[in-house]
Structure 1
């Protein structure tokens, strides 16, 4: 019995070491790509002028994990891997978003200057969307709710349980605000369709829900 227990402990430690090693090298790969692309402007002044409070920003990130998301969770030329909500502080633009502690120093909801958020994006792989038929008041409600979750220090949803609001991954936060809080969109409720919806990036640029204000992928056509 002791040998079996020891075997499982060693197996767990090996799996944990491999898991941590993957994200360590993933982060190293990401940092190298950031340095390589440091001098490249991500958003032009004309693109920035399109942004309003409560808009959603999508980026294609660096690293092995982002490579997986870009290929598996998109179904078009757009291959974004992360999303956040744009807000303003003293006329400066910031992004509220949720990240895992495996890839950042903070686990869960956090806020970054837009310029910092953009450093982690491939050049010319950024999309900015806005809720369809929205107005400035709705935009302010979106950011107010995002700030509320930020203040609560909502952790990252490592388990991917999209109907448990105690933890949130990046797009889960956005759909919680739109579907459950503001009740301004209807998304799938049937179990399998809902799972497919949440485990995908494509709804975030679906024109059923959003107007696309900036689409850098059009430059690559």
Structure 2
């Protein structure tokens, strides 16, 4: 029986960029890997098993040991604060967390409302600024909140800024830069250190070459 190393991967754009990175590091991933709708994919040639998950769930799978390693956005790690090792900045899916709202937004003397799918990041940021705010957790279409009067500000991921612009919003503050990171379960790292280190060593020169 093969001793698979299990990797949790986020669906969507990060998955596509991560697969390209792995291929450049000479991991033999079959062509059908890109189009499969399966949630668990095994690559026997590399003794790797991939679990495809929602981006927010990757660090949960890694923390609980159902995945040995995973690829997670720094935004998720800041929000979730899971017990995982951060091994490598993959330098892919670059974006940032920002505070935004309608132009000329004036905050009320009473606690302003801030909508976000990152309530911990948002509350931590405003606490550091000495601002007391009410956090409203949303799971999507965060830009709607100021437009319909649900909140005065939002904290959300910004890539190009086009979505903010199209909805008439402006950026007020940049909180943190975000890229995807390779993370590991602490127990798996001890037990499978050699295999995990090998993956890090194969990926590192590829990442360095992309920075040039």
TM-score when normalising by structure 1: 0.23
Structure richer in strand, relative to its length = 2
Greater RCO (Cα-Cα under 8 Å, separation 6 or more): 2
Structure richer in helix, relative to its length = 1
